[in-house]
Amino acid sequence: MPTIIRKDGFRVIIYFDDHLPSHVHVISADSEVKISLGDDTELPKIIEYRGKRSIAIKALELVTSHQPELLAAWEEIHGQP
């Protein structure tokens, strides 16, 4: 379970044995958010979250700002977009 990004109290991780669609798990002290990474034409979106909605929105903003990097990491780990 590599941590791809650590920023502002969030850890963005991709599990080795995860499944499509490409997505990440964003973990903070009191929340966890699962976010679809989208693709070249689609922005990331929240799949599910536990915790505060405001934290989920901040996590989505973080993932959106790092979408190309996260898609590349997903492909490197899983061999597919």
pLDDT tens for each residue of 27-78: 999 999 999 999 989 999 999 999 999 999 999 999 999 999 999 999 999 9
Q: How many domains does the chain have?
A: 1
User: Count of CB atoms within 10 A of residue 58's CB?
Assistant: 18
Secondary structure (3-state) at 73: helix
The interaxial angle of helices 67-78 and 53-65, nearest 10 deg, is 80
21: preceding bond cis by omega (within 30 degrees): yes
| pTM of the predicted structure, to 2 decimals | 0.94
Question: How many helices and strands, by DSSP H and E, does the chain display?
Answer: 2, 5
Domain range for 32 is 3-78
Longest dimension (CA), the chain: 33
Sequence letter at residue 73: A
